[in-house]
Amino acid sequence: MEVTRRDLLKLLAIAAGAGMTPRRVAAAADAPARLLDFQPLGNVTLLHITDSHATLLPVHFREPDTLLGVGDERGKPPYLTGRAFLRAYNLAPNTPEAYAYTHVDFPALAARYGRMGGYAHLATLVKRVRAERPGRTLLLDGGDTLQGSATAVWSRGEDMLRATNRLGVEVFTAHWEFVYGIERVKELFGDRERKGLFAGDFVAQNVSEAGWGDPVFHPYTIREVGGVRLGVIGQAFPYTPISHPRRFVPDLTFGIKDDQIQKLVGELRDDKKVDAVVLLSHNGVAVDLKLATRVSGLDVVLGGHTHDGLPAPIVVGRTLVVNSGSHAKFLSRLDLDVRGRRVVAHRYRLIPVLSKHIPEDPDMSALIREIRGPHEAQLGERLAVSESLLYRRGNFNGPFDELILDALLKRGDAQVAFSPGFRWGVSIVPGQEVTLEDVYSHTALTYPNTWVRELTGREIHQIMEDVADNLFHPDPYYRQGGDMVRMGGLTYTIEPARPLGRRIRDIRVAGRPLDPARRYKATGWASIAEVDGPPAWDVVADHLRSLKRVKLDPRPRVRVVG
């Protein structure tokens, strides 16, 4: 899509204030179009999306400013943010890439480049590649797709499955999909015995019946692509029964099961005679990197869960590890030259879906209007206007987390509040209205109820230490969920490199040291146990209605040392 004369005049005006020459302005105007350029390679094109979290429409989504690696991970991808990220990948600031991949100058660049993602724009890119590479493409989805919006909760995932089918996804694995319950997952995706509503192949080698060990789903699928036989192994999120209420997946086991993956690789290569093997994973990057050192014969790992957008694959031996961001912001394209039953060359791009530079696909647009039409008035309710940049993503509290915590503390008349370290949830730029739909984008899950109860200071500290170990354990195989639990009503110091039980100190509630023996009134939501308080979306929406305007001053809640 070409930049119009009107767009160019706007850019000239902006650039004049910034001291940019007309030549540099023209280059900046052409940059979004250049991001779509790709010189094809070889005989196979893998297209990958993951962690869209039911984001049907274009959104703002700010990438994290804090991602802390421990031990040898420090300072290496994916534990790079901001200007360090730009330097590592040789990307210039104030460009579409800087906007898409980092948090640097986010409000200004959001105003310049607009919202990102949207399934109608994503569909246009997918169709463009398929037309360019007929018979040579395979579109894979790494999961966390059917959760994250009001319409997804209300339809129990069916709205997003319809969009997934319309997009033409051919292979899928899962994580948050399981919070609709295993029977609903089987309705939507099928199992080893029958097909579900999904038009493609659902694969998950690591989901079995407890006790018997019988696999629930097909472990892999074999696809002919460009004259090449590809084996695709599915890896659902290994810690689903731990990270979510057990009642959703009773009598099932998950786990990493890398020894089982190794057996499947051997079966595919030796018995099925495939030419290349792909792992479609929802492990998270750190787990995938370790797994790639333990399993031989994997050509590609297409990963999800941690929402990392990697502009280049991380190469582990002969394995390419890819991660494709979140919220439908990106489409990964990996071209492979497969010859002699091995990958001899590859070319990759993590394509930012800059929606105002990519036309909508009419078929997908029509479906989205059909899905959203009955709910537009409710979703569009204007709750408040934000003067602050609101976002969630990062190791510690973000401003939208603070908004949720404020709402919980007010509703529960509590001293301390807990909110999960979820990575999903759209960003709100200054001056933007906050709607009910925006609230759901941060709270839409199937166990949204709030709770209020007394906890001792010792219990509060223990909860924080347990979550910190889940995030910063030196062995990636012991990391079982999202980012650090978000805390309201208190401040603390954390040293990620220390061992379990010794990372967190100097906890203060309302400025006073936490007393291990004292009982504090605490509140939270998204409990693993069944609770019956009002759902978080109602609590946060009521809080915003009372505020009318949101202005959050910086809150130095967490001090990181070491």
Q: Return the pLDDT at 401.
A: 97
Q: Which residue has the tokens 């401040």?
A: 491
Q: Range with the lowest mean pLDDT among 16-25, 53-62, 122-131, 150-159?
A: 16-25
319-323/342-352 β-pairing = unpaired
Query: How many Å apart are CA 304 and CA 297, to the nearest integer?
Result: 20
* CB neighbour list of residue 34: distance below 8 Å, 6 or more residues apart: none
Please give the C-alpha separations between residue 18 and each of 13, 30, 56, 289, 378, in angstroms, as whole numbers.
9, 18, 35, 42, 41
Has residue 86 got a pLDDT over 50? yes
- The structure tokens listed for 429 are 């730029």
pLDDT band with cut points at 50, 70 and 90 for residue 482: confident
Has residue 553 got a pLDDT over 50? yes
Q: Return the pLDDT at 22.
A: 52
Q: Return the pLDDT at 17.
A: 42
Has residue 26 got a pLDDT over 50? no
- The structure tokens listed for 215 are 């696999």
Residues 83-101, mean pLDDT to the nearest whole number:
96
Residues 45-56, mean pLDDT to the nearest whole number:
98
- In tens, the pLDDT along 484-515 reads 999 999 999 999 999 999 999 999 999 999 99
Burial of 464 by CB count in 10 Å (0-12 exposed, 13-18 middle, 19+ buried)? Answer: buried
Q: Range with the lowest mean pLDDT among 8-22, 53-67, 437-451, 466-480?
A: 8-22
Has residue 12 got a pLDDT over 80? no
Q: Which segments of 428-499 are extended strands (E)? A: 433-435, 450-456, 486-488, 490-494
In what helix (H) or strand (E) does residue 13 lie, and over which residues does it extend? helix 5-18
Identify residue 413 by its one-letter amino acid code: D
Residues 92-108, mean pLDDT to the nearest whole number:
97
Q: Return the pLDDT at 4.
A: 45
- In tens, the pLDDT along 69-82 reads 999 999 999 999 99
Q: Return the pLDDT at 5.
A: 43
Has residue 212 got a pLDDT over 80? yes
Q: Map out the domains of the chain as residue ranges.
A: 1-34, 44-59+118-370, 60-114, 380-560
Please give the C-alpha separations between residue 161 and each of 53, 124, 304, 345, in angstroms, as whole numbers.
12, 18, 18, 34
Query: How many Å apart are CA 332 and CA 349, to the nearest integer?
Result: 6
Identify the three-state secondary structure at position 7. Answer: helix
44-59+118-370: CATH topology is: Purple Acid Phosphatase; chain A, domain 2 (3.60.21)
Residues 180-188, mean pLDDT to the nearest whole number:
98
Note the pTM of the prediction, 2 decimals: 0.94
What is the CATH code of the structural domain delimited by 380-560?
3.90.780.10
44-49/137-141 β-pairing = parallel
Question: Which residues are registered as beta bridge partners of 354?
Answer: 116
Residues 430-437, mean pLDDT to the nearest whole number:
98
Query: How many Å apart are CA 447 and CA 276, to the nearest integer?
Result: 40
Which 8-state DSSP code applies to residue 531? -
Has residue 531 got a pLDDT over 60? yes
Has residue 6 got a pLDDT over 70? no
